[in-house]
Structure 1
Amino acid sequence: MAKKVVATLQGGVGSKKMTKVVKMVKSPKSGAYIFDEKVMNADEVDAYLKK
């Protein structure tokens, strides 16, 4: 049963390639760096990192 579920999630019509993005951001409160993690569509990664 689990093999069918995994096989259907991996690909197919309409499936999108998802990517985990980790961005290092400086905290305005303490000045320390924090890591902002998001899972997003692979097409949106460049726009997110340029912000």
Structure 2
Amino acid sequence: MAKKVVATLKKEGGSAMFTKVVKMTKSGGNGSYAFEERIVSKDSAKDFFSK
């Protein structure tokens, strides 16, 4: 199944237009960290971190 996803993203610059971003946030209650990760277009990567 993973092979199909990789093959689909590689068509016509598909994978070159996307990037995986990971944001770490600290929880206020107990001081632990939570991670949020997404696959977004390169143009909207900075918007993801500004939220």
**TM-score, length basis structure 1:** 0.63
Aligned length: 46
The structure carrying a bigger helix percent of its residues is 2
- What percent of counterpart residues are identical? 37
- Mark the CA change 1:9 to 1:21 in structure 2 (over 3 Å): closer, same or farther: closer
Give the CA RMSD over aligned residues: 2.5
Gaps of at least 5 residues in structure 1 are none
User: What is the TM-score of this pair, normalised by structure 2?
Assistant: 0.63
- Deviating 4+ runs (over 3 angstroms): none
Which protein has the larger Cα radius of gyration, Structure 1 or Structure 2?
A: 1
